[in-house]
Structure 1
Amino acid sequence: MPIPITVLTGFLGSGKTTLLNRLISDPAMADAAVIINEFGEVGLDHMLVEAAEDGIVELSSGCLCCTVRGDLVKTLEDFLRRLDNGRLETLSRIVIETTGLADPAPILHAIMLHPYLVLRYRLDGVVTTVDAVNGMATLDAHEEAVKQVAVADRIVLTKSDIAEDAGVAALRERLAALNPGAPVVDAAGATAGALLNCGLFDPTRKIPDVARWLHEEAYRDSGHTHDHGDGHGHHHHHDVNRHDDHIRAFSLATDRAVPATALEMFIDLLRSAHGPKLLRVKGIVKLAEDLDRPVVIHGVQEVFHPPATLPEWPDADHRTRLVFITRDMPEDFVRRMFEAIAGTPVIDTPDAAALTDNPLAVSGFSGTFKP
């Protein structure tokens, strides 16, 4: 199995270092490695007991820890070389801690785009810390904070013990609207068991757990679902002109099989013409050419992970299901593009409005999907 990578992100002062210290001391992090930006910026509680070569140190917990030496790809490659030549006996997982101002997308792209790293590593998930005291103001003022929440697989709510209950409830509602598929975990319960192993594959059974990974029903029930073309969903519990107003979270589903060429065109048109607007895309697709072996897709902005063909359907639900978190891209546009290209109606479409514009009139099709 490829080595799982967890990206730990969150805005300045949101509690990443405190959470990192908790994760490092957890037995589930045995034989793990932690990549941080600078040792001086991260107040690790664990004594650095042994300096190793090339800036990699061993913590008292047994974890390895190092800084990003200019190039994340080189750092990840170095760990693989250590494994392959025997200098490193085992490597159970890697946690990458980002800077507070960082958009996590470039880190995800580095893993998903590299032809060798994508074979040896797998993205397990993105964990985002949000400060319960200052979270509302941070989301109002900083687009980066909104992106950090939008791409998360798990959200850790910190400092809720010193925040007002009403403020925490409002913040939870806002986080759920931005990213309905990401469970919000209070910092007190933010153990490795709650935050790790949230990717497609269940490591205990080594089989895909699509329902847990997609969490499609959360998008279906989201207040931002069912955009009717006016650029706004049904529910907005905050003032206009906030960064949230640009974000949409929704799902598409269909019982009918999708031709591989249609799926390829749909993905490539979205990716090439509207990539920056696709904050996160995940899905499982029933292909017309192979009904018994679904394809799993995963994209972050314009970069898509190589599609994975599953040997069989993981459960009784054989529908095509796609979940999206987008910026300045209405659900209705994506829905109508999918229906036009795939020739497949989406389940539970609120209206069957005809195409009033031509979503196919975009450039950049290059044929990158290979089922």
Structure 2
Amino acid sequence: MTAMTPPALIPLTILTGFLGSGKTTLLNRLLKDPALQDTVVIMNEFGEIGLDHLLVETVDEGMVLLSAGCLCCTVRGDLIATLEDLLRKRDNDRILPFKRVIIETTGLADPAPILHAVLYHPYLSLRYAVEGVVTAVDAVNGAATLDAHREAVKQAAVAERIVITKTDLVQDPDGLVRLHERLRQLNPGAALLAADAPAEAVVSGGLFGLDGKIGDVAEWLKTEAVEAAEHASHAHQHGHHHHPGQDHHHHHDVNRHDDRIRAFCLTSDQPVRQGTLDMFLDLLRSSQGAKLLRVKGLVALAEDPDHPVVIHGVQHVIHVPAVLPRWPSADRRSRLVFIVDDLERDTVERLWNAFLGRPAVDQPDAAALSDNPLSLRR
């Protein structure tokens, strides 16, 4: 590798799940899989996971090496400091050159600050590639947990992959089907996996591959799944699908936290000017940042339509990690996928249309979203 060649990005996966979700058992199983050799796992406390039977030797204070070739370390104060320390040790050959990082969060944790830490940090964002969020959901108590805890809903809503645990304990198969349907409605772009899914399937499949290079962008975006869920939801709201005896009251239950979570996709057939895209994203995150759980996108820029830009955002932080060498498929539309909390699609769509200069049909307030529409046509 020459001095001018940047180091390959290190894929980073966030493993989360509410208290009692089976996250500990899942992580233990993943750590035994040879596919995760040369992986570093960052956790809050070793004691929570119970690693004694896997331990080979103590490498350093707060660090253990496992038999499967995984290195585990505890968060020492600040996560950013821990991630920087790992890079320092890796670059100085003080530890083996790990190929992947998994961050295991506490059961009550919101994954967003961890995503912020990597996406927004000027150095970490050059070395680590966010592979995605994996959320464990308990097959037996998952629905009740989603009802009772808003944090659990957000953990599922921002995930790329949701692992359904404890299915062997299920005594109500219909309840499990309803849980699957609920999770698909909450996050149509997430892959639903069984607890015994291969480790590679659990921690891979995001924007970046194990080599740190751009992977399957279409699989990461899941545009088609989000659009299909939108159409199904629209048909349900405007159709006559309620049959006597069917339980649909939960859609109107004020205690149902996921009624506030929405996933939708905005598109443009025409390339978007760089300045227009920047202004749209800046205004959106400054005005609605707290409500943007995830933003993902593939955008054709008017200045260079053959090389689409990948957009990745979490709340107030919008990160542009990569320009692709080519379009991943024949579909060259600009696509932005949003997972939002207590934010109407119409609000974001009006802003998008205003910046694109689209006619404000049935959108009387669209012009008000931009004080100076002429600035969009520079």
* In 2, Cα distance between equivalents of 1:308 and 1:78: 25
Change in 2 beyond 3 A, CA 1:361/1:254: closer
Q: Which of the numbers 99, 117, 126 marks the counterpart of 2:124?
A: 117
* In 1, Cα distance between equivalents of 2:211 and 2:119: 24
Change in 2 beyond 3 A, CA 1:38/1:224: farther
Secondary structure at the residue paired with 1:257? coil
Determine if contact 2:9/2:211 at 8 Å carries over to the other structure.
no
Determine if contact 2:89/2:95 at 8 Å carries over to the other structure.
yes
Secondary structure at the residue paired with 2:229? coil
Moved more, 99-108 or 36-45: 36-45
Deviation at 1:289, TM superposition (A): 1.2
* In 2, Cα distance between equivalents of 1:304 and 1:78: 25
In structure 2, the residue matched to 1:154 is: 161
Question: Rg: which structure is higher?
Answer: 2
TM-score (norm 2): 0.88
Percent of residue pairs identical = 59
In structure 2, the residue matched to 1:262 is: 276
In structure 2, the residue matched to 1:354 is: 363
**Is residue 311 of structure 1 aligned with residue 320 of structure 2?**
no
Q: Which of the numbers 335, 341, 344 marks the counterpart of 1:330?
A: 344
| CA RMSD, Structure 1 to Structure 2 (Å) | 2.3
- The letter of the residue matching 1:353 is D
In structure 2, the residue matched to 1:171 is: 179
Q: Which of the numbers 72, 88, 100 marks the counterpart of 2:95?
A: 88
Matches within 5 A, 1:1-371: 1-44=8-51, 46-163=53-170, 164-189=172-197, 191-203=198-210, 206-223=213-230, 238=250, 239-241=252-254, 242-344=256-358, 352-356=361-365, 360=369
Deviation at 1:258, TM superposition (A): 0.8
* In 1, Cα distance between equivalents of 2:289 and 2:326: 30
Aligned residues: 353
In structure 1, the residue matched to 2:4 is: none
Q: Deviations over 1:277-336 (max 9, x none)?
A: 000110100111111111110001111223422222222111101111001111111111
* In 1, Cα distance between equivalents of 2:234 and 2:322: 30
Deviation at 1:44, TM superposition (A): 2.7
Determine if contact 1:223/1:233 at 8 Å carries over to the other structure.
no
Q: Deviations over 1:120-154 (max 9, x none)?
A: 10101110000111111111111100110011000
Determine if contact 1:224/1:250 at 8 Å carries over to the other structure.
no
Determine if contact 2:205/2:216 at 8 Å carries over to the other structure.
no
Determine if contact 1:226/1:250 at 8 Å carries over to the other structure.
no
Q: Which runs of 5+ in 2 are unaligned?
A: 1-7, 242-247, 372-378
Deviation at 1:226, TM superposition (A): 7.2
Larger helix share, 1 or 2: 2
Secondary structure at the residue paired with 1:91? coil
Change in 2 beyond 3 A, CA 1:7/1:340: same
